[in-house]
């Protein structure tokens, strides 16, 4: 009997193990999501000279137990990740790829053009960045090269090199033009490369008060507010300082024990102004910043209850500072006040429920105010809303929302700002206190150089559909301006059509579910709840990166903020 019982228990155990294994596989497939794959050509198009071969290769991601199949004219020609296509006759040909996995399938199509002549095609970017008096290696990145290929670099009106790599160096800040000529037996290609020469980045710290920063203001002592009875988490924006840095904090000269980038401060005396200093030590590099924190009266002192005359739409624009972009048309004779009035005029004329501004590329923002305080209803419902014009989940241009109370009671949006968390807050690849430095172009119709606070260089390129737009807000008169906020990353893809996927909830110009924005989602710099009871001011900034050939840069398009409890 015991033997039979043992066998039965063993059998049950095996069944449970098998069921568990099946469940684990199902769970794994569910967690991974659908498989994705990309070809080794961004466009899915290839060229090959007759009599030669070209390699088609696929890279798969999130595929559980993948099976590959390349088909030409309905027949499988390869079951590997690569397929060698031989151009044995002139014309256009199509090869279909299919990946089947436990968690789904995906298909791609490749177009191969077989030609009798295949001249070189220079692929190196038309823009580059170098530092003053530092050599920059510029490689002649070119497709369709062979043993007959030659290179020729020209600079300053003369040929300077025949190597495939050229060492460029200049001392002065400016934009220089380097010419490249590549020749093979079938033809020639030429390209001009504009090289922006700038000073090397130095380590810098500053505190974010919600507004842009210029060279003349980067070391200014900014002021923040904190009501008596509340705490404020401080964290500086850093440039050229690594994540390994150690921080030293002091309050009115008294050294604190905190060594991380976050410092929680609780003021103890209403009306007192505290001077808080932070120093970052990053190997051999150091940087310092100072902020003043004003201890204001307790929360609610300056609360403005809505009246019968209160307007449900935020009807005052304090500032509009766009990032560069194809719809940013502020010429040399325009001012920051002209920019602000483009929104204010819309609000004055009864607008605000629809589009009021395109904010430009990452970081572009506006600041709006209500004529009353908007309360958190305490029930988890949406308190206010801001809409954009997403075309569906596959095309959103997400913006992050920030909120502020009039803690000092002066009616101006010069108080501490708090981010409203969204579905992506705290996830890998999401960067708080991100900062992007946009350099002022030296001439009209020039790509805009930007450098982020980790030293990554990019160019905002002019769109062929808007070649005459201003792009740069020319009322920004200094060498550069810095925009700060939260970066949601780059979700832009080009595979047949250009897409920019949105997120689950919590962003402007996005398909939000649930809809609207909740004051209870306001967070401190370390992600902890801010516990605001109401707000007076709202800020929205573009929060996604990315740009395409057809659509240009990702740019949040936004309405004003609308108090849902006063909405007619």
* pLDDT band (50, 70, 90) for residue 27: very low
Query: In 220-377, which residue ranges form alpha helices assigned H by DSSP?
Result: 336-348
| Segment 226-246 mean pLDDT | 96
pLDDT of residue 129: 87
Sign of the four-CA dihedral 199, 327, 511, 348: positive
Q: Give the span between the Cα atoms of 566 and 306, in whole angstroms.
A: 9
Domain boundaries, the chain: 37-115, 121-198, 204-296, 316-563
pLDDT of residue 1: 35
Q: Give the span between the Cα atoms of 314 and 310, in whole angstroms.
A: 10
Same fold, 121-198 and 204-296: yes
Residue with the bigger pLDDT between 257 and 6: it is 257
* pLDDT band (50, 70, 90) for residue 22: very low
Q: Are 137 and 153 in contact (CB under 8 A)?
A: no
- Which of 538, 488, 481 shows the shortest CA–CA distance to 206? 481
- Which of 11, 86, 3, 2 shows the shortest CA–CA distance to 49? 86
Q: By mean pLDDT, which of 200-209, 286-295, 456-465 is the weakest? A: 456-465
CB atoms within 10 A of CB 322: 28
Secondary structure (3-state) at 346: helix
Fold of 121-198: Immunoglobulin-like (2.60.40)
What tokens does 376 get? 């958190």
What tokens does 3 get? 């033997």
- Which of 253, 252, 217 shows the shortest CA–CA distance to 237? 217
| Segment 420-428 mean pLDDT | 96
What tokens does 535 get? 């707000």
* pLDDT band (50, 70, 90) for residue 31: low
| Segment 114-128 mean pLDDT | 93
CB atoms within 10 A of CB 526: 14
Between CA 342 and CA 348, with CA 345 as vertex, the angle to 5 degrees is 155
- Which of 191, 200, 168 shows the shortest CA–CA distance to 457? 200
- Which of 480, 453, 31, 52 shows the shortest CA–CA distance to 238? 453
Dihedral in degrees, nearest 10, Cα atoms 308, 314, 317, 319: 140
Secondary structure (3-state) at 546: coil
What mean pLDDT is reported for the chain? 91
Q: What percent of the chain has a predicted confidence (pLDDT) above 70? A: 94
Asked if the 204-296 domain carries CATH number 3.40.50.150, the reply is no
Q: Give the span between the Cα atoms of 180 and 163, in whole angstroms.
A: 11
DSSP string, 16-27: HHHHHHHHHHHH
pLDDT of residue 107: 94
Secondary structure (3-state) at 520: helix
| Segment 551-563 mean pLDDT | 94
Residues forming a β-bridge with 409: none
Task: Give pLDDT tens digits for 69-105.
Answer: 999 999 999 999 999 999 999 999 999 999 999 999 9
Homologous superfamily of 37-115 in CATH?
Answer: Immunoglobulins (2.60.40.10)
Block residue for tokens 């002091």: 250
Predicted structure pTM score:
0.77
Residues forming a β-bridge with 96: 71, 109
Q: What percent of the chain has a predicted confidence (pLDDT) above 90? A: 80
* DSSP structural state of residue 447: P
Q: Are 422 and 396 in contact (CB under 8 A)?
A: no
pLDDT at position 306 over 80:
yes
* pLDDT band (50, 70, 90) for residue 566: very high
| Segment 94-123 mean pLDDT | 96
Q: Are 132 and 173 in contact (CB under 8 A)?
A: yes
How many residues comprise the chain?
568
Secondary structure (3-state) at 47: strand
pLDDT of residue 32: 58
What tokens does 476 get? 């920004």
Q: Give the span between the Cα atoms of 211 and 427, in whole angstroms.
A: 25
Q: Give the span between the Cα atoms of 176 and 183, in whole angstroms.
A: 23
Q: By mean pLDDT, which of 3-17, 92-106, 255-269, 451-465 is the weakest? A: 3-17
* pLDDT band (50, 70, 90) for residue 291: very high
Alpha carbon of residue 327 to chain centroid: 18
Give the strands of the sheet with 82-86, arranged side by side. Answer: 36-39, 53-61, 82-86
| C-alpha Rg value of the chain to the nearest Å | 28
pLDDT of residue 455: 85
Q: Give the span between the Cα atoms of 331 and 471, in whole angstroms.
A: 9
| Phi and psi, residue 175, nearest 5° | -115, 120
């Amino acid at each position: 009997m015991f033997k039979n019982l043992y066998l039965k228990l063993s059998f049950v155990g095996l069944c449970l193990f098998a069921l568990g294994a099946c469940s684990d596989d199902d769970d794994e497939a569910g967690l991974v999501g659908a498989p994705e794959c990309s070809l080794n050509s961004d466009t899915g198009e290839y060229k090959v000279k007759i009599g030669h071969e070209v390699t088609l290769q696929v890279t798969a991601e999130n595929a559980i137990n993948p099976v590959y199949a390349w088909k030409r004219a309905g027949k499988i020609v390869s079951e590997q990740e690569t397929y060698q296509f031989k151009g044995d006759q002139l014309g256009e040909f199509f090869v279909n790829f299919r990946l089947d996995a436990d968690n789904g399938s995906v298909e791609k199509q490749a177009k191969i053009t077989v030609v009798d002549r295949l001249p070189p095609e220079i692929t190196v970017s038309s823009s580059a960045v170098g530092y003053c008096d530092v050599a920059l290696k510029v490689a002649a990145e070119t497709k369709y090269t062979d043993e007959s290929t030659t290179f020729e670099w020209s600079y300053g009106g003369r040929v300077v090199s025949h190597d495939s790599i050229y060492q460029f160096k200049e001392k002065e800040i400016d934009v220089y033009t380097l010419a490249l000529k590549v020749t093979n037996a079938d033809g020639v290609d030429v390209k001009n490369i504009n090289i922006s020469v700038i000073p090397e980045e130095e380590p810098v710290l500053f505190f974010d008060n919600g507004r842009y920063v210029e060279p003349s203001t980067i070391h200014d002592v900014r002021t923040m507010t904190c009501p008596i009875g509340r705490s404020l988490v401080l964290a500086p924006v850093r440039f050229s300082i690594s994540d390994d840095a150690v921080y030293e904090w002091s309050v009115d000269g008294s050294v604190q024990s905190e060594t991380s980038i976050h410092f929680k401060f609780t003021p103890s005396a209403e009306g007192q102004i505290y001077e808080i200093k932070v120093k970052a030590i990053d190997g051999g590099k150091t940087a310092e910043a100072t902020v003043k924190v004003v201890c204001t009266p307790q929360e609610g002192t300056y609360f403005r209850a809505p009246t019968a005359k209160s307007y449900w739409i935020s009807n005052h624009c304090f500032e509009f500072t766009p990032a560069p972009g194809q719809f940013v048309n502020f010429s040399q004779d325009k001012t920051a006040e002209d920019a602000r009035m483009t929104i204010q005029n819309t609000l004055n004329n009864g607008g605000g429920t629809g589009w009021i501004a395109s904010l430009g590329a990452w970081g572009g923002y506006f600041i709006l105010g209500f004529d009353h305080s908007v309360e958190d209803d305490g029930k988890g419902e949406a308190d206010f809303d801001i809409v954009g014009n997403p075309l569906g989940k596959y095309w959103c241009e997400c913006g992050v929302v920030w909120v502020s109370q009039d803690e000092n009671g002066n009616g101006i949006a010069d108080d501490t700002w708090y981010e409203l968390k969204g579905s992506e807050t705290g996830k890998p690849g999401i960067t708080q206190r991100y900062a992007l430095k946009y350099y002022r172009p030296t001439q009209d119709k020039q790509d805009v150089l930007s450098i982020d606070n980790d030293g990554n260089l990019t160019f905002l390129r002019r769109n062929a559909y808007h070649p005459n737009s201003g792009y740069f807000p020319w009322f920004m008169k200094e060498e550069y301006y810095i925009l700060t906020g939260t970066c949601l990353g780059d979700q832009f893809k080009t595979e047949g059509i250009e897409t920019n996927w949105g997120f689950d909830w919590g962003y402007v110009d996005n398909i939000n579910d649930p809809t609207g924005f909740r004051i209870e989602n306001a967070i401190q710099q370390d992600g902890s709840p801010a516990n605001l009871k109401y707000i007076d001011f709202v800020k929205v900034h573009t929060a996604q990166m990315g740009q395409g050939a057809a659509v240009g840069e990702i740019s949040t398009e936004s309405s004003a903020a609308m108090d849902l409890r006063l909405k007619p």
